[in-house]
């Protein structure tokens, strides 16, 4: 296979920029397998060359002026990670005019100048992709532009600012005031030192501008959005809402109605049973209601170095795939160029999980001792036991046990032995436990 290389220039080496460099290094082989090409970070620009950074920039051409970088380097994809409006826009315009593809994570740029850069993208026949501009690792832009492309979208509602969601979650859990939690969020790095764009709703409004436009085919229209922040929310209201069966969330909502399109960002009471009400901490989630797909939801990390880099690099890969392929189809059938022929699949007897067990026994003294002795022999330790205390002697009763982690082979052998005890009635019920936490 001829190895293709895609040359990348990155402007901005903050949280996201270092994440992109780290991710491209870390998953180099994975990316080659999925894309059929190698991503080469050829040049970077940042204001201070000597600043200590958590990524390896050795061998990468460095510029303190990103305009110089664009003038002097020959690259395939320009990655704009400076943020804000003015310089970022000039750079993106220059890159497109130089017929270089653009990837950006810049929500303000797209929300406020998207129409202009889109025209330049069309004129110069170069892509500008912006998955990372909304909801971090959650691929909401691709989902709307591609996966729901057959749908008439009716409404969209999202938790798309992690800072506000962290504050609302934490106020209720710890029963603290808005001001106290805001200070803690700053200390933890979940809120900026000037958090007004987040807690005031402007950040969410930038993102909603983009979402509404790709959902409904309307112009990017930041000015038309009604914006309310969470500064006025008091703990008392969060508790009252819970008593009434609701959780307060800061939502961005766009809804197509006969009378017009509603675009609004503000706190809402959401029924407790909705998945959106259960999205906690800094996480983001978006619900889309459309005529064919119905209600679908997308959840994940809305910020963070590698999480945002995941979205940026997926855009880089989308462009790379189309650059290195000549055929119509750019994505390998199973996502990888070469399927690893070696197939190292574990046997179920080697799987390690915790177990829920229900053992029906005759209620006699010493029954539990007999059972736990067998578990002990097989190195199975018990985390908790649920036993109804009120059973009469000699009556059949269930013992419900939860084990610590154990290899399936051991539990097989133990249960086999326990089922042979006289006091044990019926086959033992067992269900594996999955924590789903890592």
For its own copies, the binding residues in 234-253 under the rule CB under 8 A are 234, 236-237, 240-241, 243-244, 246, 248, 251, 253
Sign of CA dihedral 96, 98, 101, 106: negative
What strands, in cross-sheet order, belong to the sheet with 61-63? 61-63, 37-45, 4-11, 77-80, 101-104, 128-129
Interface residue with its own copies among 57, 269, 382, 421 (CB under 8 A) is 269
- Which residues, 173 to 212, sit near its own copies by CB under 8 A? none
Task: Determine how β-strand 226-227 pairs with β-strand 153-159.
Answer: unpaired
C-alpha dist (Å) from residue 356 to 230, 373, 384, 388: 43, 18, 10, 16
Which residue lies nearer to its own copies by CB, 115 or 188?
A: 115
- Which residues, 38 to 97, sit near its own copies by CB under 8 A? none
In angstroms, the CA 47 to CA 435 distance is 44
Interface residue with its own copies among 173, 188, 395, 431 (CB under 8 A) is 431
In angstroms, the CA 227 to CA 221 distance is 13
Is there binding between residue 397 and its own copies (CB under 8 A)? no
Contacts of 195-199 with C-beta under 8 Å, sequence gap 24+, read 195/163, 198/161, 198/163, 198/164, 199/163, 199/164, 199/167, 199/229, 199/230, 199/231
Interface residue with its own copies among 32, 41, 171, 268 (CB under 8 A) is 268
Is there binding between residue 122 and its own copies (CB under 8 A)? yes
Count of chain residues binding its own copies (CB under 8 A): 145
CB of 343 to its own copies, least distance (A): 6
Q: Is 57 exposed, middle or buried (0-12, 13-18, 19+ CB in 10 A)?
A: middle
CB of 178 to its own copies, least distance (A): 13
Q: Is 99 left (phi over 0), alpha (psi -120 to 50) or beta?
A: left
Q: Tell me the window of 10-18, 61-69, 170-178, 324-332 that interacts with its own copies (CB under 8 A).
A: 324-332
Interface residue with its own copies among 8, 160, 220, 428 (CB under 8 A) is 220
- Asked if 227 and 201 count as a contact pair (C-beta separation under 8 A), the reply is yes
Q: Which of 26, 49, 176, 207 is flagged as catalytic?
A: 207
- Asked if 23 and 4 count as a contact pair (C-beta separation under 8 A), the reply is no
Residue 207 among the catalytic residues: yes
- Which residues, 140 to 159, sit near its own copies by CB under 8 A? 142-152, 157
Q: Tell me the window of 50-58, 163-171, 199-207, 257-265 that interacts with its own copies (CB under 8 A).
A: 257-265
Helices 86-97 and 107-124: angle between axes, nearest 10 degrees = 20
Tokens of 176: 């603290």
Which residue lies nearer to its own copies by CB, 23 or 70?
A: 23
Interface residue with its own copies among 198, 267, 403, 414 (CB under 8 A) is 267
Is there binding between residue 118 and its own copies (CB under 8 A)? yes
CB of 175 to its own copies, least distance (A): 17
Is there binding between residue 322 and its own copies (CB under 8 A)? yes
CB of 78 to its own copies, least distance (A): 15
- Which residues, 325 to 354, sit near its own copies by CB under 8 A? 327-336, 338-341, 343-346, 348, 350-351
* SS3 of residue 200 by DSSP: coil
Tokens of 268: 């809402």
- Which residues, 98 to 117, sit near its own copies by CB under 8 A? 101, 114-115
Residues serving a catalytic function are 207
């Amino acid at each position: 296979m001829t190895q293709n290389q895609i040359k990348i220039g990155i402007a901005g080496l903050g949280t996201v920029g270092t994440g992109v460099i780290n991710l491209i290094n870390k998953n180099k082989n994975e990316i080659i397998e999925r894309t059929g090409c190698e991503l080469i970070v050829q040049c970077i620009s940042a204001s201070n060359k000597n600043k200590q950074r958590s990524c390896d920039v050795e061998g990468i051409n460095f510029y303190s002026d990103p305009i110089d970088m664009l003038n002097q380097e020959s690259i395939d994809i320009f990655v704009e990670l400076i943020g804000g409006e003015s310089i970022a826009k000039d750079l993106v315009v220059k890159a497109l005019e130089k017929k270089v593809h653009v990837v950006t994570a810049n929500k303000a740029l797209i929300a406020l100048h998207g129409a202009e850069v889109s025209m330049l993208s069309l004129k110069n026949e170069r892509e500008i992709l912006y998955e990372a501009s909304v909801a971090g690792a959650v691929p909401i832009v691709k989902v709307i532009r591609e996966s729901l492309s057959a749908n008439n979208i009716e409404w969209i509602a999202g938790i798309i600012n992690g800072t506000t969601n962290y504050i609302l979650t934490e106020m209720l859990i710890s029963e603290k005031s808005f001001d106290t939690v805001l200070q803690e969020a700053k200390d933890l790095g979940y809120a900026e030192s000037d958090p007004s764009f987040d807690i005031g709703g402007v950040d969410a409004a930038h993102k909603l501008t983009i979402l509404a436009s790709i959902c409904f085919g309307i112009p990017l229209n930041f000015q038309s959005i009604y914006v309310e922040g969470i500064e006025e929310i008091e703990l008392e209201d969060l508790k009252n809402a819970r008593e009434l069966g609701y959780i307060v969330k800061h939502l961005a909502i766009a809804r197509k109605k006969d009378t017009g399109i509603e675009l609004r960002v503000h706190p809402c009471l959401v029924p407790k049973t909705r998945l959106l009400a259960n999205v906690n901490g800094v996480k983001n989630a978006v619900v889309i209601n459309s005529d064919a797909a119905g209600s679908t939801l997308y959840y994940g990390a809305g910020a963070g170095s590698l999480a945002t880099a995941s979205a940026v690099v997926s855009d880089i890969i989308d462009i790379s795939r189309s650059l290195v392929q000549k055929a119509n189809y750019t994505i390998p059938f199973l996502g990888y160029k070469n399927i690893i022929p070696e197939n190292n699949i574990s046997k179920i007897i080697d799987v390690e999980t915790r177990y829920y067990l229900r053992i029906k026994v005759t209620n006699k003294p010493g029954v539990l001792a007999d059972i736990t002795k067998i578990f002990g022999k097989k190195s199975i330790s018990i985390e908790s036991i649920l036993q109804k205390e009120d059973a009469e002697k000699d009556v059949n009763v269930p013992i419900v046990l939860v084990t610590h982690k154990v290899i399936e082979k051991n539990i097989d052998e133990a249960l086999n032995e326990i089922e042979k005890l006289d006091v044990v009635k019926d086959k033992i019920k067992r269900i594996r436990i999955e924590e789903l936490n890592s």
